[in-house]
A and B are shown apart, each in its own frame.
Chain A
Amino acid sequence: MKKTMLLLATSALVVTPLLASAETLRWARAGDSLTLDPHAQNEGPTHALAHQIYEPLILRDMFGQFQPALATEWAPKADDPNVWVFKLREGVTYHDGAAFTAEDVVFSFERAKSETSAMKELLTSITEIRAVDDFTVEFVTDGPNPILPNNFTNLFIMDKDWTEANGVTKVQDIANGETTFAATNANGTGAYTLTSREPDVRTVITMNENYWGKDEFPMAVTEVIYTPIQNAATRVAALLSGEVDFIQDVPVQDLGRVAEADGLEVRTAPQNRVIFFGMNSGADDIDSDNVDGANPLSDVRVRKAMNMAINRDAIQQVVMRGQSAPAGMIAPPFVNGWTAEMDGMSSTDIDAAKALMEEAGYGDGFSITLDCPNDRYINDEAICQAAVGMFGQIGITVNLDAKPKAQHFPLIQNGETNFYMLGWGVPTYDSEYIFNFLVHTRGGDRGSWNNTGFTNADVDTKIVSLASETDLAARNSTIADIWSVVQEEQLYLPVHHQVLNWGAKSNVVYPNVSPEDDPKFKYFEMN
C-alpha cells in the first residue's frame, strides 16, 4: 500500500510540470463536423473545425472583422476592374512540411469551383485564376466584382501535391455517401494539426509548432479535444461536472444554472443565422403528402396560410425561452438587404389562415411529412414539434421525421424532401449569398440548396447581375426587388434568428462570441 502511494506521489511529481505547460481545451457541441474535406460541405460546424486546421486567404476574426490569413494584401488591379490581385504570405508551410505557394491557391480555388464542390456558388463570377509569381495570384471575374473578397473567408487552401498524391483532387460527394481520404485526413497550414479523428466520437487537434502566426496570436491552447454531445442535458452536465471546458450551445433551459455555477461563464450574442422551413412548391405532385395528383405546397395561398399558422412569439417565449428573435425574412439582421419592415412582416392569424386554406381548396386540410434535424440548430426538434401543433390548427396533419443532420442535409441537397427545416448563416454578410444558394434555380453552379423547385428567369438574371454591379445603390435596389419576390411568393417560412450561448470555464478567455458560431482557438487564452 505504502509503496503504491509512494509510486503515485512520484509519478504525480513527474507529471505535474508537463501538465502545466500543456493547456488542453475540451470542446463540445451538439453535432460533429460532417467531413474534413474543406470544399465538400458548406456547413457551420464543418467550417468551424476546418478553420483550426486549414486557412483561407482572408479570415473573419471572432468579431467578424476581416483579417489577413494566407493573403497579406489584396486590391483590385489598377488598370483592370475585372481583376483582383492577392499577395500571399511568404514562409508558410503545411503540416507535412511542404511550402505554401500560389500554385496551391490556384489549385484549391479550381477544386472549390468543381462540380461536386459545395462552395461553388461563392465563386460563380470567377472566370480565371492565375498565378503571376510564387506569391501573387490574380482572380479574373466576368465583370467588376467589388465584394469578391467577402466570399473567400471559408475557402480553405489545400496543398496541391498532397491532394494529388492522395488521389483526392475530386471533391468528396457527401450527398451521395462518398468517403475519401481527404474526408478523414487533413493537411493544412492552420494553427492546429489533426492528431486523431473518430467521426461523431472524438477529434483531437494539437498546436502546430511551425505556425506562421505563433507569435502574433495568443496560441495558449496546445491541444483541443472535440467531442460532439447531442443530448442537451448530457452536454450541460459535462460542462457542470468539469468534463469539458467549453460548450458552444448551452441549452436555453439551462442558461441560469450554468451562469450561477461557480467557475462557469455564459456569453450571449446574436448569431448571423436564420432558421426557417422550406417547401417544395415547384413540383406538380409530391409523394410525402396524402393528396393525389396535386401538390398543395404549389399554391401560394397554402404557403401564406402556413406562414400565418406559425406562432413565432410562442416559439420564442416557450421553446427558446426568449433566446431568439422572431423572423419575417430569411436574412439575419447582419446582412446587407435585410430590412426591419420585411423582418417584422409575419404575424399569426389562424382564422385568416383557415380562410386561405378554404379558398385554395384545402378546407379539410391534408397531411405531409416534415423532415427535421435533431442535432444541428438550437432546439431544432422542439421547434418542429411545436410547428406540428401549429400547422394542425389549420388542418394540416404533419408527420414529424427528426434525424441527425448527417442524414437530414442530403435529403435537401438531393431533392428528397418536400418540407424541411433549414438554417442559413451568411458569411459574406450580403444577400447575394442567400440568393445564390436558396433562390436561384437549382442547377449548374447555383441553387444547390434551393430545394423549393422555385424557378424564375427574371429573378435568376437579377441574381447573376449582383456579382458585377458596381453601383452600390443600383445593386441594393436589385436586392430589394428580389426580396420582394421571395416574400410575395412565400418561398420559405421564416421562424427566427438564432442567439448564441457559449458556456465555458472562467479560465477560458476568448475575445468575443463570433457571429458565425465558429470559435477560432488561436485567439483563445487560458488563465
Chain B
Amino acid sequence: MTDLPQEPTPLVADERARSRLAMAWDSDVAYSFRRSPVALISTIVVLILVLSAILAPVIAPYDPFNPASLNLMNGFSKPMEPNAFTGDVFWLGTDDQGRDVFSTILYGMRVSLFVGFAAVGFAMTLGVTLGLIAGYVGGWVETIIMRVADVQLTFPAILVAMLIFGIAKGVTPVEYRDQMAIWVLILAIGLSDWVQFARVVRGATLVEKNKEYVQAARMIGRSSGAIMMRHILPNVLSPVLVIATISLALAIIAEATLSFLGVGAPPTQPSLGTLIRIGQGFLFSGEWWILFFPAVTLLALALSVNLLGDWLRDALNPRLR
C-alpha cells in the first residue's frame, strides 16, 4: 500500500482548470468580446459602478440612510463649494435635507442594482420555469400559462408594477412599509417582466423536445422533471441570458420610474429614481446638481448594461457570425 505512488490529482485538476480558462479565452464569444470596444468599455463602466455600489460603506464619506447623522444646515450646498452656514465641502453638493449627493448616489445605486438584479432573477426563475413547463407539458397547462402571459403583455409593464405596488401598500402596516418597499418593488418589477422569459423558453423548448437526445432520455426512463432541468434547460439558456441582460437595464429603469413617481423606494432610503424625483423639484431654482448627478449615473448604468446586452445578443447569434 505504502509503495504506491501518490496520485497527482492536484496537478490534473489545475491543468483541467487552466485548459477550461484557455477554452473560454479561445471561444467565439470571448474573441468577439476582445474585438468589441463597445463591449469592453460597457463592461468597465458596469464593473466600476457595481463595485462602487458594493463598496459604498467604505467609499462614501457619509451615511445618507441614517437620518440622525444629517445636518439640515448643510442643505443645498453647491458642488465643491463650502456651505454658507457650516463651511463643509461636498464633492457633488447636497440635497434639500443636507444629504451628500455623492454618498447618496452610491447608496442609491445599491438600491437600484439590488432591485434590478433581484427582480430579473425573480422574473427569470418564474419565466423559465413556466416556459419550460408550458413547452414540455403542452395541452391545457400550456394554454393557461400562455394566455395569462398574453393578457399580461397587453398591459404596459409599469402599469402592472404600479398595480402590484398599490395593493401591497394597502395591505402592509405603516410601520413596515419602508422596509417592505424594496421587496415590493422587486415583486412588482419581477411579476411584470416574466412573460418575455416564458415566451422565449417555451418556443425553444418546443423545438428541443422533439430532438433525438430528448427522445433518448425519455426512452431510458428519465422523469419529465429531470429531462426539463438536465437536458432541455442547458440548451435553451443562451437566449435567456440575452433577455436577462437587457431586462436588467429595463428593471433598473423601471425601478427609477416607479421611485420617480413616488411609489418606489421611500424618501429616507433613496434610490436613483427617488433622488431624481427630489432634484426635479429644484430645477427651476438653480440647484441643478441634485438632479444632474443621479441622472447621469442612471444613464451610464442603464446604457452600458443595455449595450452589453446588445453585444451579447449578436455574439450568441450564430447567423450573425
Is there an interface contact between A399 and B175, defined as CB atoms closer than 8 Å? Answer: yes
B303 at the interface (CB under 8 A from A): no
Is there an interface contact between B72 and A369, defined as CB atoms closer than 8 Å? Answer: no
B98 at the interface (CB under 8 A from A): yes
Rounded to whole angstroms, the CA-CA distance of A390 and B73 in the bound complex is 11
- Contacting A at CB under 8 A, from B86-103, are 96-98
Least CB distance from B113 to A in Å reads: 24
Is there an interface contact between B85 and A382, defined as CB atoms closer than 8 Å? Answer: no
Interface segment out of the listed A250-258, A267-275, A297-305: A250-258
Q: Which residue of B is nearest A392, CB measured?
A: B68
- Contacting A at CB under 8 A, from B62-85, are 66-73, 75-76, 85
A393 at the interface (CB under 8 A from B): yes
Rounded to whole angstroms, the CA-CA distance of A319 and B71 in the bound complex is 12
Range for the number of chain B residues in contact with chain A:
20 to 34
- Contacting B at CB under 8 A, from A276-325, are 288, 290, 311, 314-315, 317-319
Is there an interface contact between A389 and B70, defined as CB atoms closer than 8 Å? Answer: yes
CB neighbours of B174 from chain A (8 A): 288, 369, 399, 401
CB neighbours of B178 from chain A (8 A): 399
Which of B96, B284, B285, B286 touches A318 (beta carbons < 8 Å)? B96
Is there an interface contact between A400 and B268, defined as CB atoms closer than 8 Å? Answer: yes
CB neighbours of B280 from chain A (8 A): 233
Is there an interface contact between B96 and A233, defined as CB atoms closer than 8 Å? Answer: no
Interface size on A, residues (CB 8 A): 36
Which of B66, B67, B70, B281 touches A253 (beta carbons < 8 Å)? B281
Is there an interface contact between A369 and B175, defined as CB atoms closer than 8 Å? Answer: yes
Q: Binding site of A, secondary structure by majority: helix, strand, loop or mixed?
A: helix
Rounded to whole angstroms, the CA-CA distance of A398 and B266 in the bound complex is 13
Given A385-B267, A389-B97, A257 contacting B72 (CB threshold 8 A): no
Least CB distance from A470 to B in Å reads: 47
Rounded to whole angstroms, the CA-CA distance of A254 and B98 in the bound complex is 19
Q: Which residue of B is nearest A314, CB measured?
A: B72
Given A367-B175, A399-B174, A232 contacting B281 (CB threshold 8 A): yes
CB neighbours of B96 from chain A (8 A): 318-319, 382
- Contacting A at CB under 8 A, from B270-298, are 280-287
Q: Which residue of A is nearest B84, CB measured?
A: A317
CB neighbours of B209 from chain A (8 A): none
Is there an interface contact between A390 and B72, defined as CB atoms closer than 8 Å? Answer: yes
Rounded to whole angstroms, the CA-CA distance of A232 and B285 in the bound complex is 11
Which of B72, B266, B268 touches A315 (beta carbons < 8 Å)? B72
Is there an interface contact between B75 and A319, defined as CB atoms closer than 8 Å? Answer: yes
CB neighbours of A480 from chain B (8 A): none
A236 at the interface (CB under 8 A from B): yes
Rounded to whole angstroms, the CA-CA distance of A401 and B175 in the bound complex is 9
B313 at the interface (CB under 8 A from A): no
Is there an interface contact between B72 and A386, defined as CB atoms closer than 8 Å? Answer: yes
Which of A232, A317, A393 touches B85 (beta carbons < 8 Å)? A317
Rounded to whole angstroms, the CA-CA distance of A343 and B98 in the bound complex is 27
B231 at the interface (CB under 8 A from A): no
Given A318-B98, A401-B174, A237 contacting B284 (CB threshold 8 A): yes
Smallest CB-CB A-B distances: 3 pairs: A392-B68, A253-B285, A318-B75
A-B contact pairs, 30 of them (CB 8 A): A232-B281, A233-B284, A251-B281, A253-B284, A254-B285, A257-B285, A257-B286, A290-B175, A314-B73, A317-B73, A318-B75, A318-B76, A318-B96, A319-B72, A381-B267, A382-B97, A385-B97, A385-B267, A386-B72, A388-B67, A389-B67, A389-B72, A392-B66, A392-B68, A393-B68, A395-B68, A398-B67, A399-B177, A399-B178, A401-B174
| Residue ranges of A at the interface with B (Cβ–Cβ < 8 Å) | 231-233, 236-237, 240, 251, 253-254, 256-257, 288, 290, 311, 314-315, 317-319, 367, 369, 381-382, 385-386, 388-390, 392-393, 395, 398-402
